[in-house]
Amino acid sequence: MPAYCPIAGTCHTLLAFPFRMPDDPEILGRCPDCDESISRVWLLVEYETDDGDTGLWAECPDCDDVVAPE
């Protein structure tokens, strides 16, 4: 049975929240807040720093914070 969506009425059960993204075997690091492992599917931004390193921002799948994985 479809889930009820308060904005659009009924919606498909696959779109019902809470929604968790599938796991990806490539681990970026751990959340500095809750120590949860963060995989590549949670990556939001990848950038080059002034000194040539790669910087990352990702969403933690456990605490939902945007963090720089360590």
**Across-strand partners of 39?**
27
Instruction: Indicate whether 1 pLDDT > 50.
Output: no
What's the predicted TM-score (pTM) here? 0.62
Residue that is written with structure tokens 């479809």 in the block: 2
Q: What is the rounded distance in angstroms from the CA atom of residue 15 to the CA atom of residue 26?
A: 25
Q: Is 9 helix (H, G, I), strand (E, B) or coil?
A: strand
Residue 70: both structure tokens together? 């360590």
Instruction: Indicate whether 22 pLDDT > 80.
Output: no
Residue 4: both structure tokens together? 């009820």
pLDDT on residue 68: 96
Predicted confidence (pLDDT) per residue in 29-70, tens digit: 999 999 999 999 999 999 999 999 999 999 999 999 999 999
Q: Does residue 18 have a cis peptide bond before it, meaning omega lies within 30 degrees of 0?
A: yes
